Amino acid sequence: MSYPVITIDKAKIEHNSRTLSKLLKQQGMRLVGVAKGVCAHPAVVEAMVSGGASAIGDSRIDNLRRIREQGYQGETILLRAPGPSQCDEAVLYADTSLNSEITTVKLLGEAASKAGKMHKVILMVDLGDLREGVMPEQAADVALEFERISGIRLVGIGTNMACYGGVIPTAEKMRLLLQVKTEVEQCIGRPLERISGGTSANIKLVLSGQMPQGITELRIGEGILLGTEAVERKPIPGCFRDAFLIKAEVIEVKTKPSKPIGEIGQDAFGNVPVFEDRGHRRRAIVSLGQQDIDPSALFPCGKGIEILGASSDHLICDVEEAGCPVNVGDILEFGLTYGTLLKAFTSPFVAKEVLKGAG
């Protein structure tokens, strides 16, 4: 095996996908599996689909193209609105996209007509998180504009929260989305088939049984991949949180002072570090860095091992109180949260390994 490596347990991902798709189904919603956290890795996408995800979403067209090329036949959803320059590609690889700009949707319509396709559009409504979407009071007018564009079909409205502003998707916010739906339907004179209520940040609402009737789908990445909801990062009952693990090699072990010696200036990333003097401590350097992981989203599996920090290519761990002695050449294992998942799958230096016998 080459290191560093991120291991993928397909059976656990499939299990999480099944658990969440059942949970959503009980409340009248379908599960859209979101693959961007793993750069749409084919094994992960496969596990999401076999667990019950009825469509695959990603924010990058490149990822959707790869999913298609690997033979996925189901619906693909582009989660980040395409730029005007990307509309030809967008209609080739995405069946549906989330949009908020009339200019772009007109270009999508032209591209789809040219390609002999009908591209589905979900109009995004901003319920206060202040990332993408039209303000609620403008939704009906914009929807009417979309309705007049040929080559596209407005299939519904959606929202995204807890991403930029950290605004929590409450039952009240969901009711507001349903109110916007009614206004849009009255304005365009026909019902909308899809109401896309949000992300892993909505799972808490679903678990508490307070999701209002009428939301038809959620777009879930983190919940399936890491088994956590995204408001308080609490575990989802019945889901695995360790479908992914990082393994990396120890390249130096030495006892050193815990406080650097000399005048302290900026570190590799422009921050001025502060150190507590804990005397001499045994430390291990692991060949992983900020290019591969986010040290604040990485958790040693070994007892008594503590992450001190990371530069671009060196992860420094305190192993003074490690349960087992740590030596050069040892392989250390780490659990992870979203920041590291994203970086590890994006880094060409981290090998990706699908576990054998795990589905």
Ligand X SMILES: *Cc1c(COP(=O)(O)O)cnc(C)c1O
Q: Are 61 and 94 in contact (CB under 8 A)?
A: yes
Q: Are 57 and 34 in contact (CB under 8 A)?
A: yes
Q: Are 212 and 233 in contact (CB under 8 A)?
A: no
The encoded tokens of residue 231 equal 């408001």
Q: Is 343 in the site for ligand X (CB under 6 A)?
A: no
Give the burial class of 190: count Cβ atoms within 10 A of its Cβ; 0-12 exposed, 13-18 middle, 19 or more buried. Answer: exposed
Q: Is 59 in the site for ligand X (CB under 6 A)?
A: yes
Would residue 207 be called left, alpha or beta, if left means φ above 0 and alpha means ψ between -120 and 50 degrees?
alpha
Nearer of residues 240 and 315 to ligand X, judged by Cβ: 240
Nearer of residues 98 and 195 to ligand X, judged by Cβ: 98
Distance in Å, CB of 225 to ligand X, minimum? 7
Distance in Å, CB of 59 to ligand X, minimum? 5
Measured between alpha carbons, how far is 35 from 174 in angstroms, rounded to an integer?
24
Q: Is 230 in the site for ligand X (CB under 6 A)?
A: yes
Among 219, 247, 283, 352, the residue binding ligand X under the rule CB under 6 A is 219
Among 96, 99, 100, 199, the residue binding ligand X under the rule CB under 6 A is 199
Q: Is 228 in the site for ligand X (CB under 6 A)?
A: no
Q: Is 48 in the site for ligand X (CB under 6 A)?
A: no
Q: Are 105 and 143 in contact (CB under 8 A)?
A: no
Q: Is 17 in the site for ligand X (CB under 6 A)?
A: no
Q: Is 241 in the site for ligand X (CB under 6 A)?
A: no
> Which stretch, 29-37, 104-112, 176-184, 340-348, contacts ligand X (CB under 6 A)?
29-37
Q: Are 194 and 122 in contact (CB under 8 A)?
A: yes
Measured between alpha carbons, how far is 228 from 225 in angstroms, rounded to an integer?
8
Among 11, 27, 30, 36, the residue binding ligand X under the rule CB under 6 A is 36
Q: Is 34 in the site for ligand X (CB under 6 A)?
A: yes
Nearer of residues 162 and 305 to ligand X, judged by Cβ: 162
- Considering only CA atoms, which of 196, 208, 192 is closest in space to residue 153? 192
Distance in Å, CB of 12 to ligand X, minimum? 17
Residue 260, phi then psi, degrees to nearest 5:
-55, 150
Tell me whether residue 120 is one of the annotated catalytic residues. no
In the window 64-123, what residues touch ligand X (CB under 6 A)? Answer: 79, 98
Distance in Å, CB of 26 to ligand X, minimum? 19
Give the burial class of 188: count Cβ atoms within 10 A of its Cβ; 0-12 exposed, 13-18 middle, 19 or more buried. Answer: middle
Among 220, 336, 342, 344, the residue binding ligand X under the rule CB under 6 A is 220
Angle (nearest 5°) at CA 86 between 46 and 184: 85
| DSSP letter, residue 148 | T
Distance in Å, CB of 144 to ligand X, minimum? 23
Binding mask 152-191 for ligand X (x = CB under 6 A): --------x-------------------------------
Q: Which residues are catalytic?
A: 36
Site residues (vs ligand X, CB under 6 A)? 34, 36-37, 59, 79, 98, 160, 199-201, 219-223, 230
